[in-house]
């Protein structure tokens, strides 16, 4: 079975590709020095996921595997100190409120979001700003 070049051409007249034509701005992406190949993404996924989760004999439930991958990405992005400060502040808030702090549970807790980490950063800066004002 042979296919004509027209069947695979990228043109607005080809209804299969017309919907995705705007996504195929390869020339613009190359000029902007953006990556258009999937090899880098696959390599990053193998490094982040495979190096930690794909060891011999390991079995993971999805929630805990996802939580561990979040932690790995936090570490690889150099955000461990900020994340630790967020976790410590969260623990202190629970303790000060007289709540029971559970270290290990049957369900994975939600990890930090950018908003919650920024809020912790603001809380840490406030006491130092108050001390300067006094």
The helix (run of H) or strand (run of E) holding residue 107 is none
pTM of the model: 0.47
The SS3 call for residue 76 is: helix
Alpha helices in 9-97, H assignment, sequence order: 15-18, 26-31, 39-45, 51-53, 62-76, 80-96
Is the sign of the CA dihedral 116, 122, 128, 130 positive or negative? Answer: negative
pLDDT digits (tens, 9 = 90+) for 69-93: 888 888 888 999 998 998 888 889 9
Q: Which residue has the higher pLDDT, 19 or 57?
A: 57
Examine the pLDDT at 2 and tell me if it is beyond 60.
Answer: no
How is the chain split into domains, by residue range? 10-59, 80-134
pLDDT digits (tens, 9 = 90+) for 7-22: 445 555 666 666 777 7
Least confident of 22-26, 27-31, 73-77: 22-26
Whole-Å CA distances, 55 to 50, 51, 115, 121: 8, 7, 33, 36
């Amino acid at each position: 079975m042979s296919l004509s070049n027209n069947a695979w051409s990228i043109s607005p007249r080809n209804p299969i590709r017309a919907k995705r034509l705007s996504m195929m701005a390869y020339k613009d992406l190359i000029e902007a020095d953006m990556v258009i190949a999937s090899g880098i993404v696959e390599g990053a996924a193998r490094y982040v996921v495979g190096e930690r989760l794909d060891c011999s004999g390991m079995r993971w439930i999805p929630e805990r595997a996802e939580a561990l991958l979040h932690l790995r990405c936090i570490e690889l992005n150099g955000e461990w100190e900020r994340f630790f400060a967020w976790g410590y502040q969260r623990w202190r808030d629970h303790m000060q409120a007289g709540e029971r702090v559970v270290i290990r549970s049957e369900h994975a807790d939600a990890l930090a979001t950018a908003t919650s980490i920024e809020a912790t950063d603001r809380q840490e800066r406030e006491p130092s700003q108050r001390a300067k004002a006094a």
